[in-house]
Homo-oligomer: A and B are copies of this chain.
Amino acid sequence: MRNTFGRVFAITTFGESHGKGLGVIIDGCPAGVEIDEDFIRSEMQRRKPGQSKITTQRKEEDEFQILSGVFEGKSTGTPISIVILNTDQKSKDYSHIADKFRPSHADYTYHHKFGVRDYRGGGRSSARETAARVAAGAVAKLMLRSFGVTVQAYVSQAGPIKLEKHYSELDLTLTERNIVRCPDPELAEKMIAYIDEIRKDRDTVGGVVSCVAAGVPPGLGEPVFDRLHAALGHAMLSINAVKGFEYGSGFEGVQMRGSEHNDAFYKEGDRIRTRTNHSGGIQGGISNGEDIYFRVAFKPVATIMQDQESVNEAGESTVVSGKGRHDPCVVPRAVPIVEAMCALVLADFLLLNRLSKL
């Protein structure tokens, strides 16, 4: 198990879906960051279940407590611990899946790897773990504020419905105005209708979250292995249900010629800038001062309200039946998670860059 992410602004998450609680330790947040608990709470609201008709109807209050690392409203440089108690851990009946492997879930692989697993609600493999990431990401965002760095994600695809516009053509302040978190209001309506239909079919569908980080200074990234985009990719691929990551021109860019793809340099006032930004703000693994942008693919949620073929721990054929309340499409609630992980990476690399020169 490897539950720590980050080299100097490092988080360690813990907790199972239906255990007593979960949370995160942030070790390496510098002293002096204003810790605005209301902001953390508002970020967690964006992720929590039960927000709208297109998310799961489960209720989780996600009340958190900061146990350490903050004194008189500011970080002290010591570990910040944030704990979320699972108030609602009533002993639901899990006997119907306790010894079955749900298809495309982590049941079989955890069982094989550890010989034991907490089967309640997916245990450690549940996306509930991301609540801790969002809390930590909110702290990272509070630190990034001091540097003028902002991170904004949005839904750019839900199933086959795809936002073709480039982020620079969008008004990202509209993202939070609709329940699917797509900044194009018209397309948002279509996505909502589509997801709702999927939900009624007792099925699920995938989607794509796009993310833009602005105000990132040049110099962030630690080649050759911790190129900035490699760390961002690692962060995104560590989120439940993610199947792909691309930045800048991404997979589409492979068809371009170098002469179109290269970003010409020019001087704008004091800044060295590029005329295009196929590089996605990262060159040689290091930020160049332009906007960083990337896309993250999420698979359809594995829990469906249908019967599925499977086997149990004894290796016998069985059927897994859908039960409970689940998301028909994960991307609306994934938006704050993608932002959180992006903010954590940028906070880490902002600090690391202080070590580059004598």
Contact = CB atoms under 8 A, between A and B. Distances in A.
Q: Is the interface of A mostly helix, strand, loop or mixed?
A: mixed
Given A124-B78, A283-B109, A266 B15 contact: no
B20 A257 contact: no
A193 to B, nearest CB: 16
A253 B15 contact: no
A250 B244 contact: yes
A67 B79 contact: no
Given A12-B12, A223-B124, A304-B259, A3 B79 contact: yes
Contacts of A104: 258, 261-263, 278-279, 283
A258 B204 contact: yes
B67 A15 contact: yes
A353 interface: yes
A20 B123 contact: no
Given A219-B113, A257-B203, A356-B114, A245 B264 contact: no
A154 interface: no
A14 B244 contact: no
A139 to B, nearest CB: 12
Nearest to A287: B109
Interface residues of A, number: 150
Interface stretch (A46-54, A166-174, A175-183, A230-238): A230-238
Contacts of A105: 283-284
Contacts of A238: 223-227, 230, 285
A145 B305 CA distance: 42
A262 to B, nearest CB: 4
A45 interface: no
A327 to B, nearest CB: 10
Nearest to A161: B255
A19 B254 contact: no
A101 to B, nearest CB: 5
A215 interface: no
Interface in A325-358: 351-358
Given A25-B14, A76-B116, A355 B8 contact: yes
A134 interface: no
A230 B236 CA distance: 8
Contacts of A256: 205-206, 299-300
30 contacts: A2-B223, A12-B27, A14-B25, A14-B67, A15-B79, A20-B67, A20-B68, A22-B68, A23-B81, A31-B356, A77-B114, A103-B264, A106-B223, A106-B286, A125-B224, A125-B285, A143-B358, A146-B358, A204-B257, A204-B258, A205-B254, A206-B256, A224-B238, A225-B234, A227-B237, A248-B299, A250-B297, A259-B306, A265-B310, A272-B311
Which 6 pairs, one residue from A and one from B, show the smallest C-beta to C-beta distance?
A106-B284, A244-B246, A206-B254, A204-B258, A109-B286, A32-B358
